[in-house]
């Protein structure tokens, strides 16, 4: 996208961008396949490349940037804390962690929180917590605890987490894998019920599967899951790393259904306000009380800089009513997408400003559309080959959303498919 708003050519990549991409490719492991754009500035919903071209961020770093880029309140909190104290070991107390834990648990309606840094660390924390709860509280025989997971799940990239992934490519070459996980069909409450044994300690799930293509379960699924888990003394563990903090139009996605309160919330991404990695497992005293000194930890988890940033993040979410904005604009966004009468689109799904455009087989994949949108100044990403994921920052204005929709409509109604390089 040029500075005056005209679409740039598909083959246009500035020399500075090209040099930086080649440098990254030369010196970095090739574990990502990014779009060919090199960013160096961001503000609100907009980001800029090194040549000065402007783009709307419609990915939000997979919901980590719910507040928009460099939200001034959160940046100010970061600067003020950085001028005082950035890191202390958990061997000592600091003046930010206690207030952060209090504010986070009150926001979540829970009793205790265990802070970490990345989402994957929070998932690992939850796995360790529910296993130890299974042994110490439920009475499961040692080393026999089972956790039920869902097909199509994505909970991170650690060795344990990939061990129960449905994606073979996530596991290939990384064995031996961690045992103790049972997979059931996502959205099928009866499958969950039938899989439970006396050794089942928890059911781990996403209320909407983001990486699986914004996969939304049937209405009533979460409430039924809650009933099954309660009846069988199984902990209901809700991974809201991508769906939490207003992304789906509620504080947390499980709140779209009454009577679906989980036992454990796994949080990350937007908790750090798009500025600093902060994550947490949040639960009752009975569950997180299974940890004792030395049983779990993190050098950076609960550090004062991260705690101060997260406190500002929670404050902005509430004062600016970002969940309510997401609900209103997300409903409008999906309605407009469904009205385009695109020859390539099978259906549109999602909640709030987490939206998946599912393409027909004849569309030949979503990557070509992501690249075509990039050339019109919109950054989004394909997921699971045939889904375009849109997730703009929750601070987006309706006028900006309208601008994006005009370009999205143009791309989704092209008479000929845009070609990828080499085709």
Q: Which residues contact 172 (CB under 8 A, 6 or more apart)?
A: none
- The answer to whether residue 364 is catalytic is no
CATH 3.40.640.10 residue window(s) in the chain: 72-319
The per-residue b/e assignment along 165-183, b for 16 or more CB within 10 angstroms, e otherwise, is beeeebeeeeeeeeebbbb
- The answer to whether residue 269 is catalytic is yes
**In the 3-class helix/strand/coil scheme, how is 276-334 assigned residue by residue?**
CCCEEEEECHHHHCCCCCCCCCCCCCCCHHHHHHHHHHHHHHHHCCHHHHHHHHHHHHH
Catalytically annotated residue among 57, 238, 239, 263: 239
Query: For residues 130 and 108, what is the distance between their CA atoms, to the nearest angstrom?
Result: 19
Contact in structure between 308 and 77 (CB atoms under 8 Å)? yes
The single residue listed with the structure tokens 């207003």 is 246
Catalytically annotated residue among 100, 250, 252, 269: 269
pLDDT reported for residue 8: 45
Q: What is the pLDDT along the chain (423 residues), one digit of tens a residue?
A: 443 344 444 446 899 999 999 999 999 999 999 999 999 999 999 999 999 999 999 999 999 999 999 999 999 999 999 999 999 999 999 999 999 999 999 999 999 999 999 999 999 999 999 999 999 999 999 999 999 999 999 999 999 999 999 999 999 999 999 999 999 999 999 999 999 999 999 999 999 999 999 999 999 999 999 999 999 999 999 999 999 999 999 999 999 999 999 999 999 999 999 999 999 999 999 999 999 999 999 999 999 999 999 999 999 999 999 999 999 999 999 999 999 999 999 999 999 999 999 999 999 999 999 999 999 999 999 998 999 999 999 999 999 999 999 999 999 999 886 666 555
Query: For residues 255 and 377, what is the distance between their CA atoms, to the nearest angstrom?
Result: 34
pLDDT reported for residue 238: 99
CATH 3.90.1150.10 holds for 15-64+322-412: yes
Cα(first)–Cα(last) distance of the chain, in Å?
23
pLDDT reported for residue 95: 98
Burial class (CB in 10 A: 0-12, 13-18, 19+), 379: buried
Query: For residues 381 and 58, what is the distance between their CA atoms, to the nearest angstrom?
Result: 8
Query: For residues 302 and 89, what is the distance between their CA atoms, to the nearest angstrom?
Result: 9
The per-residue b/e assignment along 12-22, b for 16 or more CB within 10 angstroms, e otherwise, is ebeeebeeeee
From the list 106, 100, 114, 3, the residue with the least C-alpha distance to 52 is 3
163, two tokens: 């061990």
In degrees and rounded to multiples of 5, residue 367 shows phi and psi of -60, -40
- The answer to whether residue 250 is catalytic is no
pTM: 0.95
**In the 3-class helix/strand/coil scheme, how is 115-142 assigned residue by residue?**
EECCHHHHHHHHHHHHHHHHHHHHCCCC
pLDDT reported for residue 10: 40
Catalytically annotated residue among 49, 57, 154, 263: 154
Query: For residues 67 and 341, what is the distance between their CA atoms, to the nearest angstrom?
Result: 32
pLDDT reported for residue 52: 95
CATH 3.90.1150.10 residue window(s) in the chain: 15-64+322-412
User: 72-319 — its CATH code?
Assistant: 3.40.640.10
């Amino acid at each position: 996208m040029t500075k005056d708003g005209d679409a740039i050519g598909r083959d246009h990549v500035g020399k500075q961008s090209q040099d930086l991409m080649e440098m990254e490719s030369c010196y970095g492991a090739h574990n990502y396949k990014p779009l060919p754009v090199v960013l160096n500035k961001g503000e609100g919903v907009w980001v800029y490349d090194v040549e000065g071209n402007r783009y709307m961020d419609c990915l939000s770093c997979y919901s980590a940037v719910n507040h928009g880029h460099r939200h001034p309140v959160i940046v100010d909190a970061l600067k003020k804390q950085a001028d005082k104290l950035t890191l202390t070991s958990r061997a000592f107390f600091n003046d930010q962690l206690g207030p952060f834990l209090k504010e986070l648990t009150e926001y979540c309606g829970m009793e205790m929180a265990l802070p970490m840094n990345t989402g994957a660390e929070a998932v690992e924390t939850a796995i360790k917590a529910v296993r130890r709860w299974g042994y110490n509280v439920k009475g499961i025989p040692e080393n026999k605890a089972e956790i039920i997971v869902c097909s199509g799940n994505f909970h991170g990239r650690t060795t344990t987490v990939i061990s129960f992934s449905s994606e073979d490519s996530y596991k290939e070459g990384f064995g031996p894998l961690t045992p103790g996980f049972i997979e059931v069909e996502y959205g099928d409450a009866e499958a969950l019920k039938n899989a439970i044994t006396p050794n089942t300690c928890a059911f781990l799930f996403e209320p909407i599967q983001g990486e699986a293509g914004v996969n939304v379960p049937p209405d009533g699924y979460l409430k039924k899951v809650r009933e099954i888990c309660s009846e069988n003394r199984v902990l209901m563990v809700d991974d809201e790393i991508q769906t939490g903090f207003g992304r789906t139009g509620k504080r947390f996605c499980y709140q779209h259904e009454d009577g679906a309160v989980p036992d454990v919330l796994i949080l990350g991404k937007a908790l750090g306000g798009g500025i600093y990695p902060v994550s947490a497992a949040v639960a009752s005293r009975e569950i997180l009380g299974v940890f004792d000194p030395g049983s779990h930890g993190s050098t950076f988890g609960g550090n004062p800089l991260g705690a101060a940033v997260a406190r500002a993040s929670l404050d902005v979410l509430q004062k600016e009513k970002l969940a309510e904005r997401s609900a209103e604009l997300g409903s409008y966004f999906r309605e407009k997408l469904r009205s385009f009468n695109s020859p390539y689109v099978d259906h549109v799904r999602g909640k709030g400003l987490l939206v998946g455009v599912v393409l027909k087989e004849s569309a030949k994949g979503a990557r070509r559309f992501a690249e075509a949108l990039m050339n019109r100044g919109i950054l989004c990403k394909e997921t699971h080959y045939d889904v375009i994921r849109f997730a703009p920052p929750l601070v987006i204005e309706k006028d900006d959303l309208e601008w994006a929709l005009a370009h999205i409509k143009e791309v989704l109604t092209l008479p000929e498919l845009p070609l990828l390089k080499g085709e």
